[in-house]
Amino acid sequence: MNANEISQRLAQDAADVASFLLPQGKRAGQEWKVGSVNGEPGQSLSVRVKGAKAGVWSDFSSGESGDLLDLFMAVRGCSMSEALRDAKHYLGIRDTMPEREKPNFKRPAKPTCQTAKAGALEWLKSRGLTDETIAAFKIAEQVKGDKTYALFPYLRDGELVNVKYRNIAEKRDMRQEGGAEPCLFGWHLIDPKERTVALCEGEIDAMTLHQCGIPALSVNAGAGNHQWLENDWERLQRFSEILIFFDGDESGEKGAQEVVRRLGIDRCKRVKLPEKDANEFLQKGAVDVDFQEYIEKAQPMDPEEMRQASDFMNKVKALFYPAHNEDRDPVLRLDKDLDWFEFRHGEVTVWTGYNGHGKSLMLSQVQLGLVDQGERFMVFSGEMTPERQLKRMSKQASGLDRPTMQYLDAIGRWVHDRIWLFNVVGSAGLDRLLSVFLYASKRYGIRHFVIDSLMMTDVPEDGSGAMTAQKEAMRKICDFARRNGCHLHLVAHPRKGADESKGPGKLDVAGSSKITDGADNVFTVWSARKDESDSELDPDKPDAKLELHKQRNGDVQHYTQWLWFNKAAQQFATNSRRAAVSYVPFSGQPEVINPSSEPNT
């Protein structure tokens, strides 16, 4: 939870919080009165405990004021990060999702350089930056032959985390330290008690804003790369207001939208300057008061639901003419792309099929195809342990029955930042699932989520009230996908059929009809369940089929894809050769044991 959310929770119990922090005080109407933050006699400090301003306090003798998080800092003399920690402990709040193991980033050695002078110093001063600003950010200079580089050190918690090298004569000649942690630039100059910070696209923009009295941080790799967000997530939770100073071009707008979505619309404001960026505005003669004017004009970004019709015309063109230069959603990919179906953000897909016919296996392969297209997944399977899920996925990812240890290491590296698992075997609460999914979407940019299956949640299958509960569950699932621009894959079991010689249809899904009514897409998976001992087995006859029964927003409403099965690789293929594919590049020579590709599901 961020500072705004914690502050709001504290304000709900303002009287109790005030008495906890200032036990020497007394209740006086709608206020808690005390002499000072140190508990001295008198009534110069007042904490509002009721009404619209509950949680607001002022010390009229010292001029200090703020919300209850500020009061934690004032009473305990601590930083905002420490105040957040103490407030969470007081409220009994634990983080939604346990911290995962940190990636093993490499801390760079101190580069060979000198204090900025001559070329680099003059270049920075020509951008309107002062000697004091350049020294504060510890900018250095490196000369290689006839090239001069300005060095921007990324300093955080007393450590050198990264270094960016910029050729002062050629912007495209720019690099960062290999293997270093993607993070924000400028942390060492942010006051530990600061509640407001600006985010911008470049180091020089951050230096510009700092020079004008605005605490600022810069992303390390432009508006379209958000790796820094995951690594600096906890540090950003302390800020109640985040001013987004991204550039005014198309990529800046797109990047700002994504940052606001993930950091929270409640605390982010988009600052739009009359020039492309902060430094260009400075060079055109802007001073501190000019920047403050545009900060005051800044507004929270419009909700994603509120859009002008003209914003969608490029997507309309793409619907008529798919070759138009508009990004397409990822397609259904098995051994090849099946472009009659796209996985659109903001939708729910229901997967169903008889027990043992391979619906979860199919969905696992579909996940790999989506990950191969750049998507990130989080999976809940209450029926399988994480290691069993990953064993099956490793076969599919490699296209081998038994990949070598080295190949398994490669697969582990490949899935590391692509696939997350909800580590619960057995039933899980749906609300808890969706809260963790929301956290994962915001912090790690995960866009695809799997619930396998609804019967493994606390939603009742049958009995009194079951239909109503299932309807409400589907409403929550669809609302989650639409509000957060995610795609949620839901496995639903069909009613038991008297004959499994043909696959179930959309109306055969067990439980409430709202499950398929609410879904945007419905797939069924059916297997021929061939007997390997049958000597008359026709190897060219399909082993299974994937059938699309519903696609609310696509041109194709019904489609049957016949499939063949590679038992060793646990993969479905679109041709009778049953050739396995490898999703994970591997340069070694993996050992193949039992490489049979005879059909069997």
- Residue ranges, comma separated, of all CATH 3.40.50.300 domains in the chain are 343-573
Question: What is the per-residue pLDDT for 134?
Answer: 95
| Distance set, CA 543 to CA 100, 353, 549, 575 (Å) | 40, 15, 20, 10
What average pLDDT score do residues 341-352 get? Answer: 95
Q: 518-540 pLDDT, tens per residue?
A: 999 999 999 887 665 555 567 78
Strand-by-strand arrangement of the 544-551 sheet: 419-421, 377-381, 448-452, 487-491, 347-352, 521-527, 544-551, 559-566, 571-573
Euclidean distance between CA atoms 185 and 139, whole angstroms: 12
Residue 593 has pLDDT above 50, yes or no: no
Give the phi and the psi of residue 531 in degrees, each rounded to 5: -95, 115
Alpha helix stretches (DSSP H) within 224-376: 227-231, 233-236, 250-263, 278-283, 288-297, 313-320, 359-371
Residue extent(s) of CATH 3.40.1360.10 domains in the chain: 114-300
Question: Residue 98's CB: how many other CB atoms inside 10 A?
Answer: 8
Q: Which residues contact 540 (CB under 8 A, 6 or more apart)?
A: 576
Confidence label for 371 from pLDDT (cuts 50, 70 and 90) = very high
Which range, 348-352, 401-405, 573-577, is most confident?
A: 348-352
On whether the CB atoms of residues 203 and 185 are closer than 8 A, the answer is: yes
SS (H, E, C) 134-163: HHHCCCEEEEECCEEEEEEEEEECCEEEEE
| H or E element at residue 8 | helix 3-12
Q: Tell me which residue of 234, 236, 229, 155 sits closest to 198, measured CA to CA.
A: 236
Token pair 């594919």: residue = 581
| Arithmetic mean of pLDDT, 128-138 | 95
Best-predicted range by mean pLDDT (115-119, 240-244, 576-580, 593-597) = 240-244
Helical (H) or strand (E) element with 300: strand 299-300
User: Is the model's pLDDT at 596 over the cut of 80?
Assistant: no
Range with top average pLDDT, 239-243, 500-504, 532-536, 596-600: 239-243
* Alpha-carbon span 207 to 215, nearest angstrom: 9
- Residues 6 or more apart whose Cβ sits within 8 Å of residue 358: 525, 527, 544, 565, 572, 601
- In words, the CATH class of domain 343-573 is alpha beta
Res. 590 pLDDT band, cuts 50 70 90: very low
Residue 498: band (very low, low, confident or very high) from pLDDT cuts 50, 70, 90: low
What's the mean per-residue pLDDT of the chain?
A: 87
Share of the chain above pLDDT 70, in %: 91
Are 194 and 239 spatial neighbours (Cβ–Cβ below 8 Å)? yes
Q: What is the pTM of this model?
A: 0.61
Place of tokens 């020079």: 211
Describe the strand order of the beta sheet including 268-270 as a list of residue ranges.
216-218, 196-200, 241-244, 268-270, 299-300
pLDDT at 307: 64
Please determine, for residue 597, whether its predicted confidence score (pLDDT) is greater than 60. Answer: no
What pLDDT was estimated at residue 184? 95
Q: Name the 3-class secondary structure at 348.
A: strand
Model confidence at 151, pLDDT cuts 50, 70, 90, reads very high
Least confident range from 51-55, 403-407, 485-489: namely 51-55
Determine the pLDDT at residue 599.
38
CB 365, CB 336: distance < 8 Å:
no
How confident is the model at residue 98, as a pLDDT?
56
**What interhelical angle do 3-12 and 68-76 show, nearest 10?**
90
DSSP label at 107? Answer: P
Q: Does domain 114-300 have CATH number 3.20.20.10?
A: no
179 contact partners, CB below 8 Å, separation of at least 6:
105, 106
More confident residue, 62 or 472: 472
Indicate whether 446 pLDDT > 70.
yes
User: How far is it between the farthest Cα atoms of the chain?
Assistant: 97
Q: pLDDT tens digits for 83-126?
A: 988 998 888 877 655 566 667 888 998 888 888 877 899 999 99
Are the C-beta atoms of 265 and 300 separated by less than 8 Å?
yes
The CATH label, of 3.90.580.10, 3.40.50.1980, 3.40.50.1820, 3.90.1170.50, for the domain at 3-91 is: 3.90.580.10
pLDDT number for residue 313: 77
Hey, which residues does 33 pair with through a beta bridge? 26, 46
